[in-house]
Amino acid sequence: MRVMVAMSGGVDSSVAAALLAREGHEVVGVTMRLWGGESDTGCCSVADVDDARRVAQQLDIDHVVFNFAAAFDAHVVQPYVDAHSAGATPNPCVECNRRLKFDRLSERAELLGFDAVATGHHARIGTARGRRTLERGADRAKDQSYVLHMLDQAQLGRTLFPVGGLGGGKAAVRQLAGRLGLRTAAKPDSQDVCFITSTGGRAEFLRRRVPLHPGRVVDAAGTPVGTVEAVELVTIGQRRGLGAGGATSRRFVVAVDRSSATVVVGGASELAVAETAVERLTWVDGPRLGEVLVQCSA
């Protein structure tokens, strides 16, 4: 089978490529050039591209780089900025998977005659009632199935997650990389949002793209209790960075009014809601008829 492996320069995708090559597949490593700005989070940097290329050399497989920077900015970075401005809490990894890895890259692979695209995600693909299912990775602590929730039957049929079912999970991935002598064996996992530096943070990044507005923090009675650097950086449920010390119990963000730049804080019980709206549902193995019991953790 001809398999295109999305190699980020990290240990998971390195081992994914190694496992497929060892199984006898025709493997080509591909690294997506996504971000031209600063990055120190272990993803999307020039050094990461070089790590992927060197691992491919170690495995004796071809390696190419696709420039998707414009699409990344349009479909991942700008929506991230827009979401903050609108008061939402974005997850850029979900959009990167939706619009880049399993859209642009998958289309490119199909055009080039590949049978499947493989990634280093900790997730598994199973079957139930004759249909493919998306399942959590063997290592529950590193499970990434939640950022793949948008994959449909056709996409799952063209996708491989070689490390998702490894017994021993992430520790086993690193051990295997070490035995193979891969340069990424001890490379730290990527952290946070790949296009935001740890030194500048969200505030500096967003400030370069949109106006940020300082806000006041009040309790349920409207009594001022603190301030925030920017209301665009505040999300429901947040507890830290509110400048609202001195309370006898923990306080959380329970509401944000961007029109008046006001953040309302309250106790944990005030976070409870009777209903919520859910958009862009994906029934991976087909829609279910009747009532559905949903369990959520946050």
Domain parsing of the chain, residue ranges: 2-180, 211-266
CATH number of 211-266: 2.30.30.280
Q: Exactly one of 43, 44, 93, 96 is catalytic; name it.
A: 96
Splitting the chain (298 residues) into consecutive groups of 10 residues, what average pLDDT does each group show? 97 98 98 78 75 98 96 96 90 95 97 98 94 94 94 96 92 95 92 81 91 93 92 90 70 92 92 83 79 71
Question: Please, which residues bridge with residue 123 across strands?
Answer: 136
The CATH architecture to which 2-180 belongs is 3-Layer(aba) Sandwich (3.40)
Three-class DSSP category at 219: coil
Helix, strand, coil content of the chain in percent (nearest 5): 35, 20, 45
* Active-site option among 43, 44, 93, 194: 194
Residue 140: strand, helix, or coil: helix
Residues contacting residue 278 through CB under 8 Å, at least 6 positions apart: none
44 belongs to the catalytic site: no
Reduce the secondary structure of 61-100 to three states and give it as a string. CEEEEEECHHHHHHHHHHHHHHHHHHCCCCCHHHHHHHHH
Active site residue 194: yes
Q: What is the pLDDT of residue 38?
A: 63
Helices (H) then strands (E): counts for the chain: 9, 11
SS3 117: strand
- For residue 10, the surrounding DSSP H or E stretch is none
Q: What's the pLDDT score for residue 240?
A: 84
Q: 279 is written with which tokens?
A: 């958009």
Pairing of strands 26-33, 123-128: unpaired
Which pLDDT score is estimated for 133?
Answer: 94
Q: What pLDDT is recorded for position 177?
A: 97
The Cα 208–Cα 63 span in angstroms is 34
- pLDDT for residue 42: 53
pTM: 0.88
**Could you tell me which residues come within 8 angstroms of residue 160 by beta carbon, excluding any fewer than 6 positions away?**
3, 16, 20, 116, 117, 118, 119, 125
